[in-house]
Chain A
Amino acid sequence: MSIIYGKIEQIVGPLLFLSNEHDAQYGEIVKILTDGGIERTGQVVKIDEDTIVVEVFEDTSGLSSENSKILFTEASFKVKISNDMFGRTFNSLGKPIDINTKKVLESELITEVERDINGAPVNPFAREYPTEVIQTGMSVIDGLFTLIRGQKLPIFSGQGMPHNALAAQIVTQSRVLTEEPFLIIFCGIGIIQDEAIYFLNRFQESGNIQNIISFINFADDPIMERLIIPRVALTTAEYFAFDKDMHVLVILIDMTNYAEALRELSSAKEEIPSRKGYPGYLYTDFASIYERTGKIKGKKGTITQIPILTMPNDDISHPIPDTSGYITEGQLVLNRNLHKRGIYPPFEVLASISRLMKDAIGENTTREDHKDISSQLLASYSNTLEVRDLISIVGEDGLNFNQRSTLKFGEIFEKEFLNQDVNENRDFTTTFKIAWKALSALPKNQLYRIHQEFIKKYYQEQV
């Protein structure tokens, strides 16, 4: 830690150009002190013989080229982690905050460890293939797209859709079926204060707040903070998962804000853009966040991620959902029509998938008929949509018995299985019960993806 300078040669957006008269480390954290007593933090992103380029994490307004002092810390960005964090809320720099006033609170946390927020990559050989389930209490996820410990399963939403309610519900209801310790880390990226207050209220009401650690970066916070907050949250998650043997579920909302911050910074650095102005390294950068999930051989804990992102214009081929979809192990897509019809959560089930599910569900973990049910529900629902198209051509009178029962199935599937109250927490058994109620609207010979023994056991005869 040392040496203070007076001169900043250039300030461009979040970037400071200093003349190089110091033995700086690449990636080193720099503190900038202005004459008004404001302190800013930045990071060295380029060094050559004449200049050092520093990226400032916070707001650069008010910095002047003459009256700022710069302190090189000789360290990379670290976050302080402790057991005192449970139930509390932090900003992007890991300092406790009050979300109603946005003020930083005087910290009385006893730091247990300090960790570099850019964790080293996991050795692919050390990864264990994830195979254990998390119960979210939401029928559509548990029944059709089961979340697996160690999986990264994003939710693709759109503006005006109920992803906040969904996120809050997942946070408050999720649990592991074993008695092992379970922690939820909620990371709000560029969210507005009203949303933050909504989330915190929901967490408080749930009575589960002691198992939740929140990190909030407000919409008007500097963009550099947006880029570090997921890393701060994930570093915390790694500590509790791999040092403290906990199962950690991380919710990142909204990754679109993150990607936009990345684009803004990239354009300030005058980099060559690829699609829609996003930098060419969007994939690698996303991967450095999404890949911090999983299970490591010989460790008890796991990290599971649900990144939530809003698709600009509901366009799934936009670089943000597209790039995410290539990295994650499936995706859950929300549908505006279902939302308009008052169905919550409005999942577009045919576009959604959980790729790790098939090895993890069944007799010993959820129930023996789970695979058959989920496959049959999807197939029959796909039929329902076809029959509905048909109605517009031949009219309802032109339908045969099978088609009518398919419609009836679709009705129950959407209104009872998909649809769920924002406070309703269903366990697996309840989910399967409703699934069978919907399936029983179909004649038995239409259940071609279900083994006979399960039909015999669970099919509810119509009275």
Chain B
Amino acid sequence: MSVEELHKYGVITSIKGSIIKVKGLENEIRLHDLVKISNHNILSEVIQIYSNYIVAQSYDDTNSLKLYEKVINLKKPLSMELGPGLMANVFDGIQRPLETIFEHFKEGKLEKGIDFSPLSREKKWHFVPLRKKGDNVNSGDFIGTVQETEIITHKIMIPPAVFGKITFIAEEGDYNIIDTIYCLTENGQETSFSMLQKWPITKRRPFERKIKPNEPLLTGTRIIDLLFPIAKGGTSAVPGGFGTGKTVILQTIAKYCKADIIIFIGCGEPGNEIANVLKQFKEIYDAKNGRPLLDRTIIIANTSNMPVSARDASLFSGVTIAEYYRDMGYDVAVLADSTSRWAESLREICGLLEEMPAEEGYPAYLPTRLSSFYERAGVFQTNGRDHLGKQNIGSLTIIGSISPPAGDFNEPVTTVTKRVVQSLLALDNNLAYLKQYPAINWMKSYSNYPVQISEWWRNNDIYWSEIDLDWIGCQKQVDEILSKDHELKFITQLIGKKNLPDDQKLDLFMAKLIQNSFLGQNAFVEIDNFTEHKKLLGLIKIILLFFKEGKILLKRGLRFDENKEDEVLNSIMKITHSIPNADFDQIEQFKNKNLSDILKLVFVK
């Protein structure tokens, strides 16, 4: 008897798009388990169970399938393989290894029914044990380490819900991921373990407790870090019409944010975008450790023309891998581009199932599914302990882009997402049209994190006697200036700028200065690609100091010479464009020397 016949099988009784109905398995199958159409090697996930049949969505193209073909119950849900080999790798939505597939299929096509192990069974990893025989260990504890890439140390952890006494542990040496590296006994039962573990994508990995986020995830993009900060362990969404630079912002955050590990999910986006991410991440080197960014990145690519069901899975696949690294105590950031394409995959499947839709054809369970994704973000005290007995803190930040049709934020995916995320970076067509980067609309964006993370900023502040403003103070003043500008715009249009009093001219200029030299960043100037927090504070404080001194000078009866505006602007822009992040002394010098010259230039008798 062949292995296949050992399993009980069912037969296909209906095919429509990626949805198949199967008879014969309904009594024994569990919801969300996988089944396999054996002739074609196609995986499907069970999404409905009825008394006399089940409904499954197939992860591959169903063309050429026939009625009554054999379907095997695999008796497990879709799970991620977790272990060394994830880092710097590229997977599709259900963790098929795309690089390995390309090595075998040089034509570059993804034919259906391709079956490779996600992680290489052959590759040897250098394992260093952290425990010894006789130790008692619990789930999540670190048992050893593997240097996965030059910058990422992979902690080998006891799988969830496993504990016991170590009866064997491998010596330091090279092993593949399925070699036995340790054995545990519990109640006289001995079990052996390898470095590989598996975890179902729809289930959260266990943790000890959730902690309130209190640190910013610095992105290097000034408008985000000052006005709309994202916390480590927080959630953020980036909605924007086409051409507003959503993908560029996500890629920029992925490149420069201060997370240890990046999981980039290309979900239903064009293939060249993934090619671009791969190319950039191989070519851009981290300033800190001199290694390519790819060394800390995992890419999940389910492009727009790949099967829709796998697109549905891709967000959860990504976040499951992220949780695994979070358990090692890392700060992980998940970037999903775009969650709208993911929602569309739900809509497509909902349509095929002929379910009653809610708004715009989206299923009524869209909010539930979307929250179950964003809810997996947070700062966590992990279950396990390292070899010194210390528990770890790991964080998982989720940033998702949204592609609202026609750039209209009143559509279901945007409105639902706004309910579950804590910060929103709203991109604006008009700003993009004016070639302003980043095209983040200051009125429509928000963040709920400033209060929580203000203490971090206080501890990392720069102190200048001339200006008594901390990070949150700067933020408030910038908000005031921009609001004032908004009010004045209308009256300016009526009476003309020339007829405004000097203090209002200064207000208008401050808004222009902030928009051009602080909020706007020039992607073509390398130094300006990302701004460290000290430079950010220095820059904004110089701008606000200029404002403070300027107001005093106006009170003393000096005049604001608007013809010199451009010179002031260019001079302040020199900070963003030519002073490197590391050189804080130069910024201080600018404040001490150049600022008074600028003030003399524009405030005249």
Contact = CB atoms under 8 A, between A and B. Distances in A.
Interface of A: 20, 23-28, 45-49, 76, 118-130, 150-152, 242, 271-275, 279-281, 283-284, 287-288, 290-292, 294, 296-299, 317-319, 322-323, 325-329, 331, 350-351, 353, 356, 378-379, 382
Contact of B347 (A122, A274, A287): A274
Given A47-B15, A127-B271, A274-B347, A121 B63 contact: no
Contacts of B492: none
Nearest to B348: A281
A274 B275 contact: no
A120 B405 contact: no
Interface string B222-235: 00000000000000
B304 A327 contact: yes
Contacts of A20: 67
B67 A49 contact: yes
Contact of B304 (A118, A274, A287): A287
Interface in B10-31: 13-16, 21
B67 A47 contact: yes
Interface in B488-507: none
B72 interface: no
A47 B271 CA distance: 32
Interface string B333-362: 000000001001001100100000100110
Interface stretch (B109-117, B252-260, B585-593): B109-117
A353 B435 CA distance: 11
25 contacts: A20-B67, A24-B67, A26-B15, A26-B62, A47-B16, A49-B14, A76-B63, A118-B63, A120-B112, A121-B306, A122-B303, A123-B109, A125-B301, A127-B272, A129-B279, A271-B351, A275-B405, A281-B308, A284-B348, A288-B304, A290-B270, A299-B108, A318-B406, A319-B405, A350-B433
A273 B362 CA distance: 10
A322 B242 contact: yes
A46 to B, nearest CB: 4
B348 to A, nearest CB: 5
Interface string B552-569: 000000000000000000
B305 interface: yes
Most A CB contacts (10 A, CB to CB) among B62, B243, B308, B433 go to B243
Given A49-B13, A129-B272, A322-B405, A123 B110 contact: yes
Contact of B66 (A26, A48, A284, A326): A26
A108 B16 CA distance: 38
Contact of B98 (A124, A317, A319): A124
A47 to B, nearest CB: 5
Nearest to A358: B524
Contacts, number: 186
Interface in B459-509: none
Contacts of A283: 268, 304, 341, 344
A291 B270 contact: yes
B595 to A, nearest CB: 24
B427 to A, nearest CB: 13
Most A CB contacts (10 A, CB to CB) among B66, B101, B274, B275 go to B275
A287 B266 CA distance: 14
B438 to A, nearest CB: 16
A130 B15 CA distance: 38
A379 B110 CA distance: 43
A444 to B, nearest CB: 17
A350 B434 CA distance: 8
B419 interface: no
Interface in B295-354: 301, 303-306, 308, 341, 344, 347-348, 351
Given A26-B64, A281-B351, A317-B407, A297 B102 contact: yes
A16 to B, nearest CB: 15
B122 interface: no
Contacts of A331: 243
Contacts of B279: 129
Nearest to A23: B66
Given A281-B351, A284-B348, A322 B406 contact: yes
Contacts of B109: 119-123, 126
A107 B342 CA distance: 45
Interface residues of B, number: 61
A48 to B, nearest CB: 4
B128 interface: no
Given A26-B62, A326-B403, A280 B347 contact: yes
A327 B14 CA distance: 32
A26 B63 contact: yes
Given A291-B271, A297-B108, A48 B304 contact: no
A128 to B, nearest CB: 6
The 9 residue pairs across chains A and B that have the minimum distance between CB atoms:
A126-B108, A287-B304, A27-B63, A317-B406, A48-B14, A325-B242, A125-B98, A296-B108, A127-B275
A193 B21 CA distance: 45
Given A76-B64, A125-B99, A284 B303 contact: no
Contacts of B266: 124
B278 interface: yes
B597 interface: no
Interface in B337-394: 341, 344, 347-348, 351, 357, 360-361
A124 B63 contact: no
Given A123-B109, A124-B271, A290-B270, 13 more contacts: A24-B66, A121-B305, A123-B101, A123-B108, A125-B90, A126-B109, A281-B308, A283-B344, A291-B270, A296-B107, A299-B108, A319-B405, A322-B242
A153 to B, nearest CB: 12
Interface in B39-92: 61-67, 90, 92
A100 B515 CA distance: 60
Given A25-B64, A297-B108, A121 B14 contact: no
A356 B272 contact: yes
Contacts of A121: 109-110, 303, 305-306
A125 B101 contact: yes
A400 B172 CA distance: 78
Contacts of A292: 305
B277 to A, nearest CB: 9
Contacts of A26: 15, 62-66
Nearest to A273: B361
B584 interface: no
Contacts of A271: 351
A318 B272 CA distance: 25
A284 B342 CA distance: 11
A378 B434 CA distance: 10
